[in-house]
Chains A and B, each alone.
Chain A
Amino acid sequence: MFNRFKQMDHVVNLSVILLITIGVLFIYSAAFDKSEGISKLYYQRQLIWLGVGMGVFMLLFSWDYKQLVRISYFIYGLGVLFLILVLFIGSKKLGAQRWLSVGGFVFQPSEFSKISLILGLTAYLSRFSDGSFRFRDFLGALILMGVPMLLILKQPDLGTALIYLPIFLAMLYTAQVPLKYLVGLTSLGLLISPLFWFVLKEYQKNRLLVFIDPGRDPLGAGYNLIQSKIAVGSGGFWGKGWLQGTQNQLNFLPERHTDFVFSVIGEEGGYFGSLIILFLFFLIIVGALNISDKAQDLSGRVMAAGIAAFFMAHVFINIGMTIGIMPITGLPLPFVSYGGTSLVAMLVAVALLQNIYSRRYYF
């Protein structure tokens, strides 16, 4: 057991620890109340969730992922079940039904569903190690992704649905699925994407419209984007300093301990801080790709690739939205944003990565 600890990818672990630390610092800053001189308790709760996440990490790390793959369909099914439950008994916040309350704990099934989709697809794809992947099988994979995706869109949660696609593509790509299917799917998706306009809710349309033109509704849908851009841009190279960001401390930034925590980092830490964050994520994601490359079997390979895509999509969409190169969706910045389910899900993903990596030499 101890041996396997030594076999972990320590660069990835160290990067994760640094990101969580930075995250707690800026959650503290984002929730800091100037008049009281103290921060709201979010940072403490995040630390409690970190403890929970560490426990789950140890559990999943020690349990051979190959055995986990055997029950992956079950986990996948559980994920779908939660998504169905949330439609019926979920609590509403900001017009979307995304949360399940269990004994005082609030749990966000969409975060769990990202992991369960990765596991489900891993189990499915690992059957095709002989390269016998046919169009029929491709349709099967598509259904596997499609079911939770439709449930997610029903909530509605555009951001999470957007995360599924890169995960799906990266996993199938790594599983040596013929390129024509993937290219075909991507082209088809781009062709029919304008049709999605008609199924979008009003506020989702607004978000996309202000993404194109933030000035069209400066105090409504465009407000978040404008204030976030001002925060990040006004940070300059070195930033305004921790607890010194005016956009942050004077409440101009919305959702700043959760989805927009990067705006706080951009304002108070400047370009310097942003680069540190980018570099740490780069190390984690390239580490995940490396783990995929060195995995001992196909299931490990596709799982790690899926996790790499999972991180990459979060980082790109979240940071992108704070500076207006991506539309605003409710996606957290991995390890950094406040949110228990998200943090645990991210640590689960890291545990799976280390699980695969530490068993790369065992046959």
Chain B
Amino acid sequence: MKFSLVDFNSPRIHTLFLGVCFLFIVLGLSLLKAQVFSHDQFLKLSSKNRIRRVLVEAPRGQILDRYGNILADNRPRFDLVLIREELPKKKKEYVEFLSTFLDVTQKKLWKTLQKTAYLPYKPAVLLQDIDLNLVAKIEERNQDLPGVHVRVEPSRFYLYGEETSHLIGAVGKIPKKEVEMWKERGVRTQETIGRSGIERILDSHLRGKVGGMQVQVNNRGYLDKIIGSRESIPGKDLVLSIEAPLQQHLSEQLKGRKGAGVVMNVRTGEILACVSQPSFDSNILSSGANRKVIQSYFQDQGRPLYSRYNLGLYSPGSLFKLVVALAYMQENPKTWKEKHVFCDGVFNLGSFQFRCWKRSGHGSLSLLDSIKVSCNLFFYETGLELGAEPIAEMASRFGFGQKTGFLLAEKSGLVPTPKWKKKKYKQGWYGGDTANFSIGQGALLCTPLQMAVFISALANEGSILSPVLVAGGKSKEKDLNDLRPFISALKEGMRRVVQDQGGTASKAWVKEMPAAGKTGTVEVSIGGGEKIKHTWFGGFAPFENPEISVTILVEEGESGGRTAAPIAGSLFKKYAQLRSLI
């Protein structure tokens, strides 16, 4: 058992011994460096190897209409994914086969595979939201399709697709430029968020709280065990004031046109329907799979992504005559009934000539009759008599030029005044400006939504109600009690517009819901001497004891009476039908 380390007789063996010692010291020190000095770094790498965070998204809350019809729901979506490492060795032939089997270009297949070239066993999405036939076809031939898998993902489903799109909006992944903003709200980068509409504005209500799992995986990325997990908390449901059948009907009525419509409860301020056309499909925008269609949304001349009822600015045209009339009545509370103007078709203002829309003239008209036939001449004269300021003040009292308090984004529009003109253009305010202003043209701009609020305020005789979208929401109310008698009188004029022989909106008349209202037709130059007409109708029904107001705007229409009024009429009818069912 005697063993002495350095007791070698041969010098050459002693040299070999020294060599051996050297090699062991090299190994010992190298291991010391790796295992002791670099331990932390390697331990981190080994954790990174095996620990993955898996996000479990919370189901988003449903969005319902006032009667419980589902507008937005969740459904499983099937994605076709490829796992590069599971593909057979002869990749080229296999890709050729897949290309014909799945009807996908080889280029797309290679591109998809390339995405995960450095992420072993990570699935790469080839096709999103495939239909059930393809799912069945793939499952049937499972054995012949190594590396091809169908993955189930939660996804948003909008039952009324195009009909509620501007209102409800769409969901999606967080865009790059918003990553920081969502991070501050505690939303993870991989989460699905509301990208537009109600989905975005009330995102925190609908989204719920993501759950997560910390899992240990093996070298293939397959689950080994769950280290820790937290349940996701589902988002809360949301009930809107919308009436789905009415919304659907309005959307159908406007389909094929460029325009907008708002149906509002004149007692509560609730929005029963709001539509902008042309429209887009929230489902397509949310899934993001159909790039071609999404591309077309962005390029279409009709701008389907643009919501016209809250963001579109239009001249109110003849509808604004109601404001001018109220301004005149307030200035002349005793005498306005006696006011008569003789319309011969031409109005001279200095060297300028302004024409009534009826070339032959209307003859002698009272205020209420001039509302009925929408005589321009009456309002040129009345407006010039009043001056711009009282008209602008009356317009502001009804909310023009201000935001209505709508839940979604909105434009405030513009009520011009001499002061405004001086500031903006460094020019004086001329009689011609007042004349244009008096018939709702010129610089004056409003949204269809503002118009709806105005019409509703006439219907309820003086209460300006902010629009309400969420069921049970309280409208902010502003009462114009001093105007009550004038509004009440003016409504008679509006009744004649719809119900009397020769009224401009006789096409809005339906016997189930006798309405009152006002039409508008605005000529707009689109350059090159060409002109188009934006056509309006704003009204309410039933005339006695009004329930709803309907505001319709159609771009490039014929006239308010012929284009917008019939649409309103069909809505009144639809509303009456729906009421009779209850």
Given contacts A219-B118, A230-B46, A320-B30, contact A312 B23 (CB under 8 A): yes
Chain B residues in 8 Å Cβ range of A301: 10
B210-232 vs A, CB cutoff 8 Å, 1 = contact: the mask equals 00000011111000100000000
Encode contact with B along A276-318: 1 for CB under 8 Å, 0 otherwise.
Answer: 0010011001110110111000000100010011001001100
Contacts of B38 in A (CB 8 A): 233
Interface of B is mostly: helix
Residue of A nearest to B43 (CB): A234
- Of the listed stretches A103-111, A138-146, A186-194, A245-253, name the one at the interface; the rest are far from the partner chain: A245-253
C-alpha spacing A162/B451, complex, angstroms: 91
A323 near B: Cβ within 8 Å? Answer: yes
Tell me whether B220 and A174 are in contact (CB under 8 A). Answer: no
Task: State the Cβ distance, B164 to closest chain A Cβ, in Å.
Answer: 47
Residue of B nearest to A283 (CB): B3
**Is B39 touching A250 in the complex (CB atoms < 8 A)?**
no
Docked Cα-Cα span, A269 to B24, in Å, equals: 19
Contact A236 B36 (CB under 8 A): yes
Q: Closest CB-CB distance, A301 to chain B, in whole Å?
A: 8
**Complex: how many Å from CA A34 to CA B223?**
13
Contact partners of A181 in chain B: CB under 8 A = none
User: Contact: A289 with B39, CB < 8 Å?
Assistant: no
Residues of chain B within 8 A (CB-CB) of A292 are 10, 13
Q: What is the distance, in angstroms, from B250's C-beta to the closest C-beta of chain A?
A: 57
Contact residues in A for B3 (Cβ distance below 8 Å): 9, 11, 287, 290
> Is the pair A286, B5 in contact by a Cβ cutoff of 8 Å?
yes
Within 8 Å CB of B16, what residues of A?
A: 170, 173-174, 289, 305, 308-309
Q: Which of A1-25 contact B (CB under 8 A)?
A: 9-11
Q: How far in angstroms is the closest Cβ of chain A from B121?
A: 11
Q: How near does chain B come to A239, taking the closest CB pair, in angstroms?
A: 9
- Given A173-B16, A289-B20; A233-B35 close (CB under 8 Å): yes
Of B1, B30, B47, B216, the contact of A325 (CB 8 Å cutoff) = B30
Q: Which of A106-149 contact B (CB under 8 A)?
A: none
Smallest CB gap from B17: residue in A: A289
Given the complex of chains A and B, what is the CA–CA distance between A270 and B218 in angstroms? 21
CB neighbours (8 Å) of B49 from chain A are 227, 230, 246-247, 250, 252
**Which chain B residues border A251 with CB–CB below 8 Å?**
218-220
Q: Which residues of B contact A274 (CB under 8 A)?
A: 31, 35
Query: Chain A at the B interface: mostly helix, strand, loop or mixed?
Result: helix
Q: In the complex the two chains form, what is the Cα distance from A274 to B30 in whole Å?
A: 11
B42 CB within 8 Å of chain A: yes
A275 CB within 8 Å of chain B: yes
Q: How many residues of A contact B (CB 8 A)?
A: 52
Could you mark each residue 512-556 of chain B with 1 if its beta carbon is under 8 Å from any beta carbon of chain A, else 0?
Answer: 000000000000000000000000000000000000000000000
**Interface 0/1 of A67-86, CB less than 8 Å to B:** 00000000000000000000
User: Does B481 touch A at the CB level, under 8 Å?
Assistant: no
Check: B34 CB closer than 8 A to any chain A CB: yes
**Separation of A312 and B65 alpha carbons in the complex (Å):** 81
Contacts of B289 in A (CB 8 A): none
A305 CB to nearest chain B CB (Å): 7
CA distance A236 to B34 in the complex (A): 8
Assess the A247–B31 pair: CB atoms within 8 A.
no
Residue of B24, B26, B41, B118 most packed against chain A (CB within 10 A): B24
Residues of B close to A287: CB separation below 8 A: 3
In the complex, chain B residues whose CB is within 8 Å of the CB of A10: 1
Tell whether A62 is near chain B: CB-to-CB under 8 Å. Answer: no
Task: Find out whether the CB atom of B39 lies under 8 angstroms from the CB atom of A233.
Answer: yes
Query: Are B39 and A278 touching (Cβ within 8 A)?
Result: no
Contacts of B26 in A (CB 8 A): 316, 325
B1-53 contacts to A, CB under 8 A, are 1, 3, 5, 7-10, 12-13, 15-17, 20, 23-24, 26-28, 30-32, 34-36, 38-39, 41-43, 45-47, 49-50
- Would you call B39 and A236 a contact (CB within 8 A)? yes
Say whether A331 faces chain B, with CB atoms less than 8 Å apart. Answer: no
The answer to whether B473 has its CB under 8 Å from any CB of chain A is: no
Contact B43 A308 (CB under 8 A): no
Closest to B217 in A: A250
Contact A230 B42 (CB under 8 A): yes
Among residues 154 to 191 in chain A, which have CB atoms less than 8 Å away from a CB atom of chain B?
170, 173-174, 176
- What residue in chain A is nearest B38 (Cβ atoms)? A233
Bound CA–CA A195/B218 (angstroms) = 41
Name the residue of chain A whose CB is nearest to the CB of B24. A282
- Residues in A neighbouring B32, C-beta threshold 8 A: 271
**B27→A316 contact, CB < 8 A:** yes
Min CB–CB distance B508 → chain A (angstroms)? 71
In the complex the two chains form, is B24's CB within 8 Å of A278's CB? yes
CB of A156, distance to nearest CB on chain B (Å): 22
- State A292–B3 Cα separation when bound (angstroms): 14
Cα distance A319–B32 when bound, in Å?
13
Contact yes or no, A252 B39, CB < 8 A: no
In the complex, A312→B17 CA distance in Å?
11
CB neighbours of B34 from chain A (8 A): 229, 232-233, 266, 323
* Contact residues in A for B216 (Cβ distance below 8 Å): 246, 250
CA distance A237 to B32 in the complex (A): 9
Cα distance, A230 to B49, chains bound together (Å):
9
Bound CA span A170–B219, Å: 42
CB distance from A269 to the nearest CB of B (A): 10
8 contacts between A and B (CB under 8 A): A219-B118, A231-B46, A233-B34, A234-B46, A274-B35, A278-B31, A289-B17, A290-B7
Please give 12 more A-B residue pairs, beta carbons under 8 A apart, in addition to A230-B45, A233-B39, A293-B8.
A9-B3, A170-B16, A174-B12, A174-B16, A231-B46, A236-B43, A250-B49, A250-B50, A266-B35, A275-B28, A286-B20, A308-B20
